[in-house]
Structure 1
Amino acid sequence: MKPAGSAARSPLFLRIFLLMLGCVAVVQLMNLALLIAVQTPSAKLYTVGQVVHAMGRGHDPAGDLQVERVPAVQPVPWNPRAERIEAALASALGVSAESVRISFPTPFLQREQVYRRTGVPSPAPISPAVARDVVITGGFSAALRQRDGQWLRVEPAEGFEPWRWFVLLWLIFSALAVAPFAWALAHRFAKPIRAFAAAAERLGRDPRAPQLELEGPSEIAEAAAAFNTMQARLNRYVDDRTTVISAVAHDLRTPLMRLGLRLEDAPDALRHACEGDIRDMQGLVSTALAYVRETSETPVRRPLDLRSLAETVVDDLADRGEAVTLAPGEPVVLNGNPAAIKAMVTNLVINAVKYAGGADLTLALAEGHAVLDVRDDGPGIPPEDLEHVFEPFFRGERSRNRDTGGVGLGLPSARAVARAHGGDVELRNRAEGGLIATLRLPV
């Protein structure tokens, strides 16, 4: 189904795709700017004389080199560069080449290159003065064996160079620059999902809630139209069946009235018995019509104090001599249909009074819901019937006497009103005996 005006809507896929392309473009532009703006890092230069000076003093006054004593130095594969510098370092120190060792770090994600000694001439002897001027480029590790068998190792001091600070700050700035695009993308994804979640929540609380607006990309508009169609079909489905039940219950009044007229000439014993049955049927029809009316009419909701409403119900029953109490507490305000909620609370309390002789009510707030508990000390309900009692015309009292069992529409009506307000009614047996009916309504 295509909603009106959908031809002018750009698809959600295209919007997200273009937004991602824009995000990637910004990142690449930032990288290009970094490539142009950053200074090329220059390799640090050291001389053999600096290394010899640091070894002689045990530290480097300039702070460019760090000196430490280590128990052993790992041997490294031979390479011509290390051999030449080792020869220069040994000449400058006046020791044999076996007493010094130098190694260079392997570049990140690269293998250490393996050289063959064959065909490479040995380095020529070099005077100590010239050896001190031999340059060492980049990182290295030079070691001199001491008389006690330990090694004196010299390495460049580790430090965070200025160009690294520049790159780090640039990356942080790039992340901040891309953050609005990422936020827009996440918002674009989450907004329609939040809208559908809110619509589903409204539909659960009120089947006649306003429909979703057909806005946004074509996919979202089509999904909203499908959701609205589903909501309309559900309402029609319920309305059609409610209308049938209401019509049947209403039309039953006419044959009942005719039966009453025809019984006027019947014998007294037969007439009295049949009139009692007719009265029972008329009461059943009236109850069914009231149930249909309560569950199908469009509710008018406004803020109300559930505690004040419960106090009114309790006071009315207490004035009739019923053992009904309500624990004191703070006001609990929620949005609802006052008439429907009062009828629901009255239904639950009268149910407890009828079967247990009294009721104790408590009202509190818990996790964003108003929780009303109606406790009694009656016989309870068999566990297998705790859910069946919410089915229309099901009676937990197995006799068919309306004076003791009712018609089986009280609890279904109460649950229908609670669920229409986004809440629910549950029953459970108390461990100490009796029953507790719990009403939960969102505030």
Structure 2
Amino acid sequence: MQRPWPLFLRIFALMLGTVMLVQVLNFAVVLLIPPPMPVIFTANRVAAVARTGHDPGGLLKAELSSGPPRPSDNPRDSRLAASIATDLGLARDKVTVDTERSAMPMFAGALRPPLPMGMGRRQPPPPSFDNALFGPFVVSIEAPNGRWLVIRPARSTIGPWRMRIILWFLVAMAVAAPIAWALARRVAKPIGLFAAAAERLGRDPRTDPLRVSGPPEIAEAASAFNLMQERLNRYVEDRTTLIAAVAHDLRTPLMRLSLRLEKAPDDIRASSEGDIQEMSQRIGSAMAFVRDMTRHVRRQRLDLRSLAESVTDDFADRGETVVLHPGSAMTMEGDAPSLKAVLANLVGNAVKYAGHADVQLRRERGLAIIEVSDTGPGMAPQDLARAFEPFFRAEQSRNRDTGGSGLGLASVRAVARGHGGDATIANRPGGGLVAVVTLPV
């Protein structure tokens, strides 16, 4: 199998081919559209137009202007002005000629037609062209009423020849644009694939690896990305297995301590049994947390509002005060058991510490937002930053009798981030807490 070209060589060859194609088109312009010879006007013809006010051939136009003309420092313009003034019988200062003026002064030099051979702008022309005007020029003649008669070529600066040049330029752009578009797409597509793969990896570390194909650079980068994904999964699995093994092995010494306490005095046995029971509950919660985080999730289309209704109905059936605000269906792709556990955790916390829960679901900018609020005692500001830490419990409102193991909010944030979202908690201005979970729809 032939090895594909490296991406560097592909881009280099495509750019080189595009430049060569444009140069071929430019060379074709020179061969196929030669510049026309300029229309030459004599000083006598300009003087005749000044006398009658119009040009029989329609190539010159005359109009009155109130402003004085711009003086010219070109010696040839001075000679032409003197020749026209002599023909009209006027004083030299009554006529000015400016052969540099154009409808677009900035581009006048580029748009002027080529001068006949031997006629430089600053060099004195041959005798046969002493009375010749061509290209963009302006002749200003002072009238008796103080106004100025301005005579200039009637044809616009952009004539048919220049229009053909512009049309050829547009054709060249139309030919080169698809090549540039294909090049940009070719370069940007692998970057987009890597961005999508990174986003999928953030949602689900066990997502399918990237397909290794394309130029050698892209294939090498895809292989490195897949290797990184494999190492990350192995790293997480090793740590998770270690935690699960430690939690499981701790049950054996706890069991031995329980047996030994049977022979201890009653006061020591009572206090120690409570500590052992709490440790057993924490170990069980840790193992359940690890089991939930390591199980293979199955993403599917689901209605988040239906999940919320099932959770709130379960709490209402138990006699708890839970309100779900009405709204439209909210479909998304996710793991139904995990999201249901998130809702149950948040609603359960609100009911446990405030006696009621207020649930709202809404959609904003492509995100599904779950808000669970209450009017309970809230949390101290220093505890809010640690609320999602495993085994953390705020002692101000949660104690060993009423509080849980401290893994509920940690599990909520883990599930939310596993779906590409996040979870936050804050004190409400009117009192109580509000937990917000954002999930991409």
Q: TM-score, normalised by structure 1?
A: 0.87
Q: Does 282-291 or 51-60 show the bigger shift?
A: 51-60
Task: Tell me the amino acid that sits aligned with residue 109 of structure 2.
Answer: F
Aligned to 1:73: 69
Q: Distance in 1 between matches of 2:147 and 2:248?
A: 108
Counterparts in 2 of 1:266 and 1:400: CA distance versus 1, 3 Å: farther
C-alpha distance in 2, partners of 1:360/1:221? 51
Does the alignment pair 1:164 with 2:159?
Answer: no
Q: State whether residues 309 and 342 of structure 1, in contact with CA within 8 Å, keep that contact through their aligned partners in structure 2.
A: yes
Percent sequence identity is: 50
Q: Is the 8 A contact 1:397 1:404 kept in 2?
A: no
| Deviation of the 1:81 alpha carbon | 7.1
Partners of 1:203 and 1:209 within 8 A in 2: yes
What is residue 391 of structure 1 aligned with on the other side? 389
Which shows bigger deviation, 54-63 or 340-349? 54-63
- Where 1:303 maps in the other structure, the secondary structure is strand
Deviation per CA, 1:71-119, whole angstroms, max 9, x where unpaired? 5334433635752x4455345434455544434227627996277xxxx
Give the conservation status (yes or no) of the 8 Å contact 1:79–1:114.
no
Equivalent positions of 1:305-320 (< 5 A) are: 305-320=303-318
Change (3 A) 1:213 1:96: same
Show CA shifts across 1:144-198 (max 9, x none). Answer: 3333444323221242321111111111111010011110111122111101111
Residues 398 and 405 of structure 1 are in contact (CA less than 8 Å); yes or no, is this contact kept in structure 2? Answer: no
* Residue 28 (structure 1) aligned with residue 28 (structure 2): no
Pick aligned residue for 2:122 from 106, 113, 133: 113
Which piece of structure 1 moves more, 155-164 or 190-199? Answer: 155-164
Structure 1 residues 13-24: aligned runs within 5 Å: 13-24=8-19
Cα distance in 2, alignment partners of residues 303 and 77 from structure 1: 80
Q: Counterpart of 2:117?
A: none
**Aligned counterparts of 1:233 and 1:104: Cα–Cα separation in 2:** 76
Map of 1:142 onto structure 2: 139
Distance of 1:148 and 1:400 partners within structure 2? 100
Aligned with residue 378 of structure 2, among 380, 384, 395: 380
Partners of 1:294 and 1:417 within 8 A in 2 = no
Does the aligned pair in 1 maintain the 2:43–2:131 contact within 8 Å? yes
For residue 204 of structure 1, the aligned residue among 202, 205, 210 is: 202
| Per-residue deviation, residues 27-46 of structure 1 (Å, max 9, x unmatched) | 11111111111132210122
Distance 2:94 2:308 in 1: 97
| Mapped partners of 2:242, 2:398: distance in 1 | 25
Q: Residue 293 of structure 1 aligns with which residue?
A: 291
Q: After superposition, where does 1:200-279 map in structure 2 within 5 Å?
A: 200-279=198-277
Corresponding residue for 2:104? none
Structure 1 unpaired stretches of 5+: 124-132
Higher relative contact order (CA 8 A, sep 6+): 1
1:278 Cα offset (Å) = 2.8
Cα shift readout 1:370-425 (whole Å, capped 9, x = no counterpart): 11100001111111211201111111126994322222111101111111111111
Task: Look up the equivalent residue of 1:77 and give its one-letter code.
Answer: D
SS of residue in 1 equivalent to 2:387 = helix
The one-letter code sitting in structure 2 at the alignment partner of 1:60 is: D
Structure 1 vs Structure 2 CA RMSD: 2.7
- For residues 267 and 91 of structure 2, the distance between their equivalents in structure 1, rounded to whole angstroms, comes to 137
Counterpart AA for 1:238: V
Bigger drift between 246-255 and 102-111 goes to 102-111
Gaps of 5+ in 2: 102-107, 113-119
Quote how far apart the aligned CAs of 1:264 are. Answer: 4.0
Seen in structure 2, the aligned counterparts of structure 1 residues 277 and 55 have a Cα distance that, compared at 3 Å, is same
Give distance in 1, aligned partners of 2:141 and 2:222: 78
Could you say which residue in structure 2 is the equivalent of 1:52? 47
1:342-396 deviation per Cα after TM superposition (whole angstroms, max 9, x unaligned): 1111111111111111111011111111111000011111112112011111111
Give SS of 2:426's match. Answer: strand
Match for 1:336: what amino acid?
G
1:151 lines up with 2:152 in the alignment:
no
Distance 1:77 1:332, change over 3 A: closer
Following superposition, the deviation at residue 261 of structure 1 comes to 3.2
| Distance (whole Å) between structure 2 residues aligned to residue 398 and residue 149 of structure 1 | 96
Report the CA distance between 1:55 and its aligned residue. Answer: 1.3
Distance 1:253 1:42, change over 3 A: same
Residues 99/342 of structure 1: CA separation in 2 closer, same or farther (3 Å cut)? closer
Whole-Å separation in 2 of the counterparts to 1:206 and 1:81 = 80
Distance 1:273 1:400, change over 3 A: farther
Give the Cα separation in 2 of the matches to 1:321 and 1:112. Answer: 100
The alpha carbon displacement at 1:428 in A equals: 0.8
Identify if the C-alpha distance between structure 1 residues 168 and 80 changes in structure 2 by more than 3 Å, giving closer, same or farther: closer
Instruction: Give aligned pairs, total.
Output: 422
3-state SS of 2:423 partner: strand
Question: Do the aligned partners of 1:27 and 1:174 also contact (CA within 8 Å) in 2?
Answer: yes
Deviates more, 1:43-52 or 1:245-254: 43-52
Structure 1 residue 420 and structure 2 residue 418: aligned? Answer: yes
Cα deviations by residue, 1:273-324 (Å, 9 ceiling, x for unpaired)? 4433332222111111001111121211212211111111111111112111
Distance 1:72 1:263, change over 3 A: closer
Partner Cα separation in structure 2 for residue 53 and residue 190 of structure 1: 65
Q: How far apart are the structure 2 equivalents of 1:262 and 1:86?
A: 125
Cα distance change, pair 390–155 in 1 and its aligned pair in 2 (3 A):
same
**Offset, 1:58:** 2.1
User: Take 1:87 and 1:274, find their aligned partners in 2: how far apart are those partners?
Assistant: 121
Q: Which residue of 2 aligns with 1:128?
A: none
Query: Per the alignment, do residues 51 and 250 of structure 1 end up closer, same or farther by CA in structure 2, a change over 3 Å counting?
Result: same
Change (3 A) 1:323 1:75: closer
Q: What SS is found at the alignment partner of 1:427? A: strand
